[in-house]
Amino acid sequence: MKILFRTSGGSSANRELGTGHIFRTINLSKQFKNDEKIFLVEDYGGIKQIFQNNNISNIKFLKPGLSIKEDYENTLKIIKKEKIDLIIIDKIYTSKIYLKKLTKEIFTTYIADQFDYEFPTNIVVNGFIGLKNEIKLNKYNSKCLIGPSFQILSEKYEKKENWNKKNDLLISFGGYDANNIIEKICKILPNFSKKIKIKIILGPITKKPKCLLKIENDFKNELKIIQYTDNLKKEISQSKIGLCSGGITTYEFAILSVPFGIISQYKHQKITATEWEKLGYGINLGINDKEVIKRIEKFLNNFLENKMNFGTKKNKIKGNGSKKVKNEILKSFKVQKNDFRK
């Protein structure tokens, strides 16, 4: 088959994008091992590096900020030119008009977030932690794969592995630290770097702040900083606790049973942070405001004093969501294809 992955992301300061949608489509694309994959992408800054890191070159770029009409026309043009069999869409603020028109032309899967799964496509995928794991139909008669068992993560999480704990704290704000939280953390890092072993993963499109350079030199044995890793699973597994934002990384910590503190970089992440705390996986440290450093400081002091209170974990998730999503897409696609032939 030929599959088109339609996504967007990047370092734009005035859009709630980040890189989660990009990584999610990449993770799902790797499940379709024998099929031809094409990516259709709006790059809001730095995305090319992520595709290079994942050895993906079959990419077509769209001008960011297209109107619904322009987006639909451009997408349909590529679908027809490349003879695409099915399209998988993962991008924020996707119009239901756009989705409905595309679904009339081609088998369409839409990947959603938070509590919403009412979209007019053949399949809707929503792996949000706040939803019950189930397969159901929505009001458009779309097949919905909902709940964290359908969260799309790297295929590395399908396999159980044991790693020794080398670090006390892993700090990672995904592919892009949109709010410069790491720069703020610089103010308190010297107070903790002699007490706990810390590792920081900046992310592929996050620049290392100048404040980290001196701290890095002063605490060479206690503090490790890397730009990017192709095995975040290993890095999380080797850590006792984590500090992250409220995106896909929270699911990666949760699967590996590594507790974490969450700083929400975007408004919609506050809902995710609340759900994780409710279920006992993480501690909600609020948004990136003027008081966030005080809350981080308290979080780390509680760790040092063995006062962490994460509660009883409920609704444990597994790491095979990507495979389950792929199988359901193929199953429904084959059914529709057979029905069409009849």
**Residue 31 amino acid letter:** Q
**pLDDT tens track of the chain, all 342 residues?**
999 999 998 876 556 667 889 999 999 999 999 999 999 999 988 889 899 989 999 999 998 888 999 999 999 999 999 999 999 999 988 999 999 999 999 999 999 999 999 999 999 999 999 999 999 999 999 999 999 999 999 999 999 898 999 999 999 998 888 788 999 999 999 999 889 999 999 988 888 888 898 898 888 888 999 999 999 999 999 999 999 999 999 999 999 999 999 999 888 899 999 999 999 999 999 998 999 999 999 999 999 998 887 776 766 688 999 999 999 999 999 988 766 544
Classified as helix, coil or strand, 295 is helix
Q: Do 5 and 37 touch, CB atoms closer than 8 A?
A: yes
Q: Do 265 and 245 touch, CB atoms closer than 8 A?
A: yes
Name the region of 16 (left: φ>0; alpha: ψ -120 to 50; beta: rest): beta
Element (H, E) at 284: strand 282-287
Single pTM value for the model: 0.93
Q: How far apart are CA 181 and CA 341, in angstroms?
A: 54
Q: How far apart are CA 41 and CA 29, in angstroms?
A: 14
pLDDT at 312: 66
pLDDT at 234: 96
Burial class, 240, CB count within 10 angstroms (exposed 0-12 / middle 13-18 / buried 19+) = middle
pLDDT at 205: 84
Class of domain 2-152+320-341: alpha beta
Q: Which residues contact 57 (CB under 8 A, 6 or more apart)?
A: 51
Total residue length of the chain = 342
Q: Which residues contact 142 (CB under 8 A, 6 or more apart)?
A: 119, 120, 121, 122, 123, 124
Class of domain 156-304: alpha beta
Q: Where in the chain is the domain with CATH 3.40.50.2000?
A: 156-304
Q: Do 22 and 50 touch, CB atoms closer than 8 A?
A: yes
> Tokens 């759900």 belong to which residue?
275
pLDDT at 113: 92
Q: Where in the chain is the domain with CATH 3.40.50.11190?
A: 2-152+320-341
| Backbone phi and psi for residue 308, each to the nearest 5 degrees, phi listed first | -70, 135
For the beta carbon of residue 143, count every other beta carbon within 10 angstroms.
Answer: 19
Choose among 73, 118, 70, 109: nearest CA to 91.
109
Classified as helix, coil or strand, 46 is coil
Residue 234 per-residue DSSP state: H
Choose among 316, 330, 327, 283: nearest CA to 133.
316
Structure tokens that stand for 69 in this block = 């009409």
Q: How far apart are the first and last CA of the chain?
A: 20
Structure tokens that stand for 68 in this block = 């619904």
Classified as helix, coil or strand, 337 is helix
Classified as helix, coil or strand, 44 is coil
